[in-house]
Structure 1
């Protein structure tokens, strides 16, 4: 089983020809609401990629919370540890331009009330093969979940987004960190994927830096480096590509795939997701991923 301790948001998505600059108003093509949040996205991606998944987090007592719970459950995610708290569910305001690029504002809502794992959360983490973490919950809560995983001998995969300073106490618990190129630069203070990888590996044992259409760079402390190219596709919406990649990567690692095979599996999943609109709605099934890999 894969456990995901993280955020659940309703994505409020506006599609525009070009993202507005400061002080500018633009007319959009379309607006839609899509269940999302980095934690929920990764849980759905992992479930669709073939894993048993438990989601640990919180939603509000509003309509968005009920919809998020239903979406996770329909995707096959175990939501018994998903708390309901008074107040609004988290939201993400997303602007997607005609090139498929996006900008995002997150308002935490119920996510901000999570101060740490509950007793039921701790039991789920202990029973897991992998714990997925992101940084859309309060840092203290993320660290508490990571420490619980360490005590139980459960590997932690961390997506360091939104990028922020990472305490050594957190990184000491992390088996694999998966930033994108911008997050890697923000965390390490250096630019360029190779240089950022060098800096990351001074603090963690393994890292993958996702590079969008340029692929994914893997590194480990024994000195292994591997660049796996991304599939060549026509992207329409990159909103959930990173979360799809991480969810699929966790599945592959939990099933014992080798490094290159796992990265190709994750890249195929992400490549499928960017060809569809939305976050959770864009994530491929195991059959779709395997069909892409067999082409």
Structure 2
């Protein structure tokens, strides 16, 4: 069975709800303080597992109680955590503020995620050509470069979610199979303003495709996603399933479901649609990975 192998970050999410975001220097009262599983890597792994793909996670947690709890939480989502290492220091932490509008702000301390490496897993983890290896930008860039070479040595495809946006080696970018960015990350990667419309995003996706990735997805929130694949481009409309409760983790749900669909053999454009539906589902309930239980299972046509 094809698998999704996620190499990336895992965080303790600390979330508080406010009526509105504070201005600089302002103190507001919050409510509904919660602690939960987070980190783009862990979220995407959980989403892939809930979408029906066999999923493995390679990452690192600290020696604190948060690390022990997060490892167990990720396993409870159906993810194989055999390759999650414990390293000295604190576990990664994300401080999240959610406004009643559903929008959020996030501050991340990388913690143990700075120590993520593929090296210990190489002795027992061997990707297959049908596997999708998923990367993000919340771990060191040299780790992603090493994983890219390792995955391709087995013929596996690599999906890079360049989030948060950062400078990326052009040589490495040219070897990415699937690049996923949101509109802001797309603009930063190209040194251009973020696309404001689907038409602009299609042009941006085409430009990113010109940097080397075989397939590109530019997510646009409520406007869906633009994509480029080979010489073809297009727009996938958003799916409206109801009023947004919390947008935290919606992008990660999209990436995880997209990876699962590709691993299960679905065509690229169909996989983008599966990602859109997963993201639309995730915003209907609070939290990141905690909202993924309702994600639809990806099925082959």
C-alpha RMSD of matched pairs (Å): 1.7
**8 Å Cα contact 1:102/1:238 also seen in 2:** yes
Name the SS of the counterpart of 1:83 in structure 2. Answer: strand
Query: Structure 2 unaligned runs (5+)?
Result: 196-200
Structure 1 contact 55–78 (Cα < 8 Å) conserved? yes
**Superposed counterparts of 1:38-117, under 5 Å:** 38-114=40-116, 116-117=117-118
Q: 1:199 aligns to what?
A: 207
Residue 234 to residue 290, structure 1, CA distance change in 2 (3 Å): farther
Equivalent-residue separation in structure 1 for 2:7 and 2:38 (angstroms): 14
Give distance in 2, aligned partners of 1:282 and 1:73: 16
**Residues 1:166 and 1:122: Cα distance change in structure 2 (over 3 Å):** farther
Q: Which runs of 5+ in 1 are unaligned?
A: none
How far did 1:29 drift? 2.5
Contact kept, 8 Å, 2:133 with 2:158, in 1: the verdict is yes
Size of the aligned set, in residue pairs, is: 288
How far has the Cα of 1:289 moved from its partner?
A: 4.9
TM-score (norm 2): 0.91
Check the 8 A contact 1:122/1:148 in 2, yes or no: no
Superposed displacement of residue 173, structure 1: 2.3
**Does residue 228 of structure 1 match 2:236?**
yes
Change in Cα spacing, 1:109 to 1:290, as seen in structure 2 (3 Å) is closer
In structure 2, distance between residues paired with 1:241 and 1:274? 6
Q: Is the aligned partner of 1:212 residue 2:186?
A: no
Task: Name the counterpart of 1:118.
Answer: 119
CA contact (8 A) 1:268 1:289 kept: no
Return the offset for 1:31.
Answer: 1.0
How far apart, in 2, do the equivalents of 1:96 and 1:210 lie?
Answer: 21
Matched, 1:279 2:288: yes
Partner of 1:143: 145
In structure 2, C-alpha distance between the alignment counterparts of 1:218 and 1:140, rounded to whole Å:
27
SS at match of 2:188: helix
> What secondary structure is seen at the aligned counterpart in 1 of 2:15?
strand
- The alignment partner of 2:181 has SS state of coil
Query: Does residue 170 of structure 2 align to residue 168 of structure 1?
Result: yes
State the alpha-carbon separation in 2 of the partners of residues 195 and 41 from structure 1: 29
Q: CA deviation at 1:159?
A: 0.4
CA separation in 2, counterparts of 1:34 and 1:25? 24
Q: 1:196 to 1:67 in 2, by over 3 A?
A: same
| Partners of 1:215 and 1:123 in 2: CA distance | 39
CA contact (8 A) 1:265 1:289 kept: no
TM-aligned CA deviation for residue 269 of structure 1: 1.1
* Cα deviation, residue 44, structure 1: 0.4
Deviation of 1:98 after TM superposition, in Å, equals 1.1
**TM-score when scaled to structure 1?**
0.93
Per the alignment, in what secondary structure is the counterpart of residue 56 of structure 1? strand
Change (3 A) 1:290 1:149: closer
Per-residue deviation, 1:153 = 1.2
